[in-house]
Amino acid sequence: MELPFAESWKIKMVEPIRKSTREEREQWIKEAYYNVFQLKSEQVYIDLITDSGTGSMSDRQWAALMLGDESYAGASSFFNLKETIQKITGFEYVIPTHQGRAAENVLFSYLVKEGNVIPGNSHFDTTKGHIEARKAVALDCTIDDAKNTQLELPFKGNVDIKKLEDALQKYSDRIPFIIVTITNNTAGGQPVSMQNMKDVRALANKYNKPVLFDSARFAENAYFIKTREEGYQNKTIKEICLETFALADGMTMSAKKDGIVNMGGFIATRKEEWFEGAKGYCVQYEGYLTYGGMNGRDMNALAVGLDENTEFDNLETRIQQVAYLAQRLDEFGIPYQRPAGGHAIFVDAPKVLTHVPKEEFPAQTLTVELYLEAGIRGCEIGYLLADRDPITRENRFGGIDLLRLAIPRRVYTNNHMDVIAVALKNVFDRRETITRGVRIAWEAPIMRHFTVKLEKL
Ligand code: F0G
């Protein structure tokens, strides 16, 4: 008999978590204005709000922390990190930042000007925010198939090459760079194929534009290339990463995902001009160039995390767990963005809550229902997060409305996955009784989902 699959690690330290009663949760979510970002973590049993900064570090990472060099300038921890990044990405220049959006802020302060257009595949909300705040446009060129949640495609995060070329022709002088997000978080943690990145590179060369990779989950993307794309089965994850980054001019990184640290980020590039242009903004916004908002110990831990998480076994354990949750949802017929993504399951809320109109935010409503059911905190990646159009101020209902169940790395067991699946099934079973959603009582002008106050209808 073939041995079953099991994790490539064992557990050395545990953190207790606590269940609550439905009455408690009803009170807490009301006090939080039906916005799960406003809940306290101890009001949550299983926390799937994000996979960002919520992973468990390894014993090697904790050991590296103790060797952190906290020197203001020239810390050995910076050089450890820089060498690791150079080895994994091939990029020569490295600017550390305190997280991914800080990397965006520093680099975009140099690259993005009013009136610019930045084409890409489903820019993440902070990426879009940093572009729009500079009065530029984030132009989404994701393949249309990504919106059809029931279609099974191996690389559903891809850039639509035709849309990209149209944009390059139409806006040519207004485009400072092309951005490719690997994996494509907003479209469901869906990977981008090596072929697609090669096609983007070819177009970029034709129109003489640089390419930036938003690389928060680049290692998970490499895993999907290895397991799904012709010709990569026998390459190591590290070889695939090098081949990936050879197609870009630079990257912004939220190290809180595939770096498996609680806080951290960086910019890396082969363009001296980008490094020279951005470094002043690092000093201004983040800190001196050899720490950029990170502690020495955190840079050390990140160097180890990047090395560990570009190994196949670690990635396989992670992605198999997400696939396991998907398989449980399949048993119950619960619709989600297919196939399962790298870091999360994205439940197709309008297909579950068919009676809740889009104006009443089905995915947010489902997020609240799942919390009430079992204290499980997912988050809405849908109409609330899509914000309003900066010009017309209308709600953007054009995209997909999903409840994201983001799985922290090396944190929960498959028993927790079973609880999540059954809790969702219980909500699914009573879906016909859920006919009303939520209404916005107060919202911020930008990135409203974090602080929005809602009322239950
Ligand atoms: N890019 C992508 C693709 C992301 O998913 C995120 C963060 C960022 C950039 C920004 O990085 O948080 O370190 O500043 N995503 C988190 C999430 C918050 O929950 O998906 P950050």
**Tens digits of residue pLDDT in 178-230:** 999 999 998 999 999 999 999 999 999 999 999 999 999 999 999 999 999 99
Can you tell me which atom of ligand 1 is nearest the CA of 126?
Answer: 10
**Tens digits of residue pLDDT in 348-361:** 999 999 999 999 99
Residues with CB under 6 A from ligand 1: 50, 52, 99-101, 124, 126-127, 181, 185, 214, 216, 254, 256, 265
Can you tell me which atom of ligand 1 is nearest the CA of 183?
Answer: 3
Long-range contacts of 129-138 (CB under 8 A, 24+ apart): 129/101, 129/446, 129/447, 130/101, 130/104, 130/105, 132/390, 132/446, 133/446, 134/108, 136/112
Distance 254 CA to ligand 1 centre (A): 6
Can you tell me which atom of ligand 1 is nearest the CA of 254?
Answer: 13
Residue to mutate, 122, 142, 257, 377, ligand 1, most ligand atoms under 8 Å from C-beta = 257
Distance 183 CA to ligand 1 centre (A): 11
Rounded to 5 degrees, what angle do the CA atoms 147, 152, 157 make?
Answer: 50
- Looking at residue 409, what is its pLDDT? 98
CA–CA separation, 272 and 278 (whole Å): 10
- Looking at residue 446, what is its pLDDT? 81
Helix (H) / strand (E) element for 97: namely strand 93-97
- Looking at residue 374, what is its pLDDT? 98
- Looking at residue 399, what is its pLDDT? 86
Distance 126 CA to ligand 1 centre (A): 7
Same fold, 22-51+312-456 and 59-308: no
**Tens digits of residue pLDDT in 62-121:** 999 999 999 999 999 999 999 999 999 999 999 999 999 999 999 999 999 999 999 999
Identity of the amino acid at 280: G
Distance 241 CA to ligand 1 centre (A): 19
Please choose, from the candidates 134, 452, 107, 76, the residue with its C-alpha nearest in 3D space to the C-alpha of residue 300: 76
- Looking at residue 389, what is its pLDDT? 87
C-alpha to C-alpha distances, 157 to 145, 183, 412, nearest whole angstrom: 9, 7, 26
**Tens digits of residue pLDDT in 405-452:** 999 999 999 999 999 999 999 999 999 999 999 999 999 988 899 999
- DSSP at 358: G
**C-alpha 450, offset from chain centre:** 16
Rounded to 5 degrees, what angle do the CA atoms 364, 366, 369 make?
Answer: 115
Instruction: Look up residue 281 and give its two tokens.
Output: 């903004």
Distance 138 CA to ligand 1 centre (A): 16
Can you tell me which atom of ligand 1 is nearest the CA of 103?
Answer: 14
- Looking at residue 52, what is its pLDDT? 98
For the chain, give the longest Cα–Cα distance: 63
CA–CA separation, 176 and 134 (whole Å): 13
Please choose, from the candidates 98, 133, 51, the residue with its C-alpha nearest in 3D space to the C-alpha of residue 267: 98
- Give nearest CA residue, ligand 1 atom 19: 50
**Would you say the pTM of this structure is higher than 0.95?**
yes
C-alpha to C-alpha distances, 411 to 15, 17, 47, nearest whole angstrom: 9, 12, 10
CA–CA separation, 294 and 85 (whole Å): 15
Tell me which fold the domain 22-51+312-456 belongs to: Aspartate Aminotransferase, domain 1 (3.90.1150)
CA–CA separation, 380 and 394 (whole Å): 19
Residue to mutate, 36, 126, 345, 405, ligand 1, most ligand atoms under 8 Å from C-beta = 126
pLDDT above 90: percentage of residues in the chain: 96
- Dihedral-angle region of residue 33 (phi above 0 means left; psi in -120 to 50 means alpha; beta otherwise): left
> What is the rounded average pLDDT of the residues 299-310?
98
**Tens digits of residue pLDDT in 124-158:** 989 999 999 999 999 999 999 999 999 999 999 99
Q: Are 264 and 98 in contact (CB under 8 A)?
A: yes
Q: Are 161 and 198 in contact (CB under 8 A)?
A: no
Tell me which fold the domain 59-308 belongs to: Aspartate Aminotransferase; domain 2 (3.40.640)
Helix (H) / strand (E) element for 21: namely none
103-129: string of b/e by CB count within 10 Å (b at 16+)? Answer: bbbbbbbbbbeeebbbbbbbbbbbbbb
Q: Is 390's pLDDT higher than 90?
A: no
**Tens digits of residue pLDDT in 243-299:** 999 999 999 999 999 999 999 999 999 999 999 999 999 999 999 999 999 999 999
Q: Structural domain boundaries of the chain?
A: 22-51+312-456, 59-308
- Give nearest CA residue, ligand 1 atom 8: 100
CA–CA separation, 89 and 352 (whole Å): 41
What is the average pLDDT score of the chain? 97
Please choose, from the candidates 383, 375, 401, the residue with its C-alpha nearest in 3D space to the C-alpha of residue 24: 375
Q: Which residues are catalytically annotated?
A: 72, 124-125, 214, 216, 257, 449
Distance 58 CA to ligand 1 centre (A): 22
- DSSP at 4: P
